[in-house]
Each structure stands twice: as structure tokens, then as C-alpha cells.
Amino acid sequence: MKTNSLILGLLLGIGLTLSSCRSEVAETPEPTAIPSTEVPSTNAPSLEPGPSSTSTSTPEPSSTSTPEPLKPDNLPAINYRTISRLKKLVTYQYPDVIDLEFSPDDRYLRLRVNLEEDTHRDTFLDLTTGLEILSLEGGQRTYFSPDRTSVFALDGKDLAIYDLQRGVKMAQYNSRYQVAALSPDNRLLVEIEEIEPGTGTTFRVVDLTTDEEQYRIFVNGDLERDSLQFDPEGKYLIGISLVPPDTHLTTIWRVENGQVVRSLFGYQEAILHPFHSEVAASSAKQSYISLISTVTWEQKRYLGPALDGPGFHDIKYTSAGRLIYGLFDGETTAAWFWYPPSGELLENNLDLDLLAISVSPDSRLLGTSDKQGNITIWGVSE
């Protein structure tokens, strides 16, 4: 990929050092990788600037947002000891929000609302003022920059960078291929070649700072674009593909060389523990989450009632891996929390019918979206 000079300058100016917001640090050994043959790299194609498929606007202050600023100074961390002591800090009125994400410094919150098939609206709130600062419409995946000042939006064949404080686009370029995922330091871009369903998927990883393709990988299945994700440190890449006969295949690759670490069958969601000690995986057909050791690749334990029926979804670890949580669809959609080392189910006081949930990077804020149209920010009461 040949990046235009404006994009390259912005990438270098923003800074490519991954920020750490962990309040608890405890390293564990990395998983043992399964050796595989490295795929030879090829030269990346040139990119030409072009119009974005994502529409953008700088909103006027929202009439539905609570004007009261959020001031979460000196809040305790949300962990297995404090999850039952949550209190409401502020509530906003935004209906039908299906996904939430905090910025690395907890200042901004992204709210996602589905508009129609393959199209959604991402609204960015400044939690220090309660006001909307940016709105994007399209099929974009969004990523906060490590320095907390910008948002990268990947939509179709376009990558655009927006200034969060001013709510304006700073730069954009087009690719020949579908842009699919961005590493946490905003340095590596995953692109998917357009291949007919049922014939496999080829994707490649490109270094945006050197304009060089790192490697190309073929997957013998239909790779789900939105399943591609880097772990928080950018060492591993996870993707889920649909392979015959209608089976989900989760693959974990080493980012530095594209080698396969492990493949897992039958899961529709999978995430790595922040310290790479385990994988949490769930299936839509079974109501439990499997915790799989990355040393032995055997199931250590399962979380949940283990019944036939709807499974857990939107599963996540907190940034230091001290909690794992997800949503479970029963009579209402509820949040479940566990302590990973023991698998203990933790009580919480979120008596809501939920659409989305997210814990902030420093584990001091929790955001929820409920089916009554409320976005609530929670913290731990003293």
C-alpha cells in the first residue's frame, strides 16, 4: 500500500505507541504457538485519494442529552469486589443503541445505532460536557487513536481519520480492497480481497508507516469481516470464518509473521485474555462461555448455566482481565459477570433489560444501553 503523505504524516504525528490504562498488571506466559509456514509477502498496491462512503457531521448540542457534566474523579475500580456496588453517575436519552465503546482516557463514548442493513450511525459523546461532538453514518468500524485525539473509521475501501476535539475529518484515502481491521497502535491495517462466497478468503496485513505489505493469508472459508480483531497489545489477530458444512472456525494468528497459533471449531465469538493466558469463546446454540487455556488448548472451565438455547454474546474482558462479562438473552437481556481465575459468578445490581454494555479501559466506568432508550454511566459507590 502506498499511503499519501498527509495520511503518513498524521499517523506519525498522532503517535504509534500503545497507551496502557491498566490499573492491575500481572504478566502470564504467552501461549505456545503451533508452527506453520509463513506466507511470502508481496508488494502492496498504490492507494489513490477518493471520496468516503461514510457521511459525517458535527452535531449541534443534543437536545436529548443530559447537560450535567460527568466528573468521575477518584472512583474505585470496578472489579470482583466492587461490581455489586454500582451507582448511576449520569443518564442520557438515546434509543436503540446496540454497542458502546469508551475512548482510552474515558473522556469520549461511542454510541452505535442500526439504521438499515449494513448501515449504522456512530455518535461520539464528550462525557466531560455531555454533548455530541461527531456523528458518522455508514458501515464503518471505528478505532480510537492511542493519544486519544482522533478516530479512525474503516468503511468499505475507505480509511478516514477524524479529529475528536473539533469533530472534523483530517485525512482519508481509498484502497483497492475492503479495509477490515486496525491494530491498537493504528500501525497495521488488515485488508480483505473481494472473493466470491464459498471460495475462501484472502486477506493481508499492511504496515501503514512503511507502505509495505507484511504477509498475505488464505482462509478456506468465508471470513466474517467484523470478527477480525487484534488483541489489546497487537500481538495476535483473531478471525472467525464459516466453513462447510455450516461450521464456525476461529483462527488465531501471530501478528509478527502471520503464523497460525490455533484453530477452534464451533464458536461464534472468541476473545483473548489481555495477558494471553486463555481464550473465552461462546456459541449461539449453548448457554455457556468456554475458557480455553492457551498453553494446553483444553477447556479449563465453562461459565454459565450450560443449557441448550440462546448463548452469551458481546463477551469481553476488562482491560486487566480481572472480570469477564457478557449479555444473556432470557425473558430479559441481562449482564453476567465472572471472576476468571475461579469462574465465580458475581452478583450485580444492574436490574435492566439491556442492549449493550461496556467497561472503560481503566475499569472505573461502566456504560449500559437499555431497551427503554437510556444510556447510563455507572461507577462504584464508596
Is 111 within the bounds of a domain? Answer: yes
Q: What is the dihedral of CA 239, 242, 245, 250, to 10 degrees?
A: 10
Question: Distances from the Cα of 306 to the Cαs of 111, 301, 333, in angstroms?
Answer: 31, 11, 17
In this predicted structure, what is the pLDDT of residue 178? 95
SS3 content of the chain, % helix, strand, coil (to 5): 5, 50, 50
Query: What distance in Å separates the CA atoms of residue 42 and residue 235, rounded to the nearest whole number?
Result: 21
Domain that holds residue 73: 5-19+41-380
Give the C-alpha separation, 365 to 76, whole Å.
Answer: 9
Mean pLDDT of the chain: 84
Rounded Cα distance, 38 and 253, in Å: 11
Question: Taking phi first (over 0 means left), then psi (-120 to 50 degrees means alpha), and beta for anything else, what does residue 276 get?
Answer: left
CB 284 within 8 A of CB 60: no
Query: What is the arithmetic mean of pLDDT over 19-25?
Result: 33
Overall average pLDDT of the 216-227 stretch:
93
Domain-located, residue 36: no
Please check whether residue 221 is in contact with residue 241, taking contact to mean a CB–CB distance below 8 angstroms: yes
Query: Cα–Cα distance between 276 and 262 in angstroms, integer?
Result: 13
Contact 260, 251 (CB under 8 A): yes
Is residue 33 included in any domain, yes or no?
no
Q: How confident is the model over 33-73, as pLDDT tens digits?
A: 333 333 333 333 333 334 455 666 656 544 444 445 565 57
Sheet of 131-138: strand order equals 55-57, 131-138, 119-126, 108-116, 97-102
The pLDDT score that the predictor gives to residue 310 is 77
In a domain, 124, yes or no: yes
> Which DSSP letter does residue 227 get?
G
Residue 95 has pLDDT above 60, yes or no: yes
pTM: 0.83
In a domain, 320, yes or no: yes
- What does the alpha-carbon distance between residue 65 and residue 54 come to, in Å, rounded to a whole number? 24
Closest Cα partner for 240 from 287, 284, 207? 284
Residue 362 placed within a domain: yes
Number of domains in the chain: 1
Whether 149 maps to a domain, the answer reads yes
170: CATH: 2.130.10.10
Q: Is there a contact between 135 and 169 (Cβ–Cβ < 8 Å)?
A: no
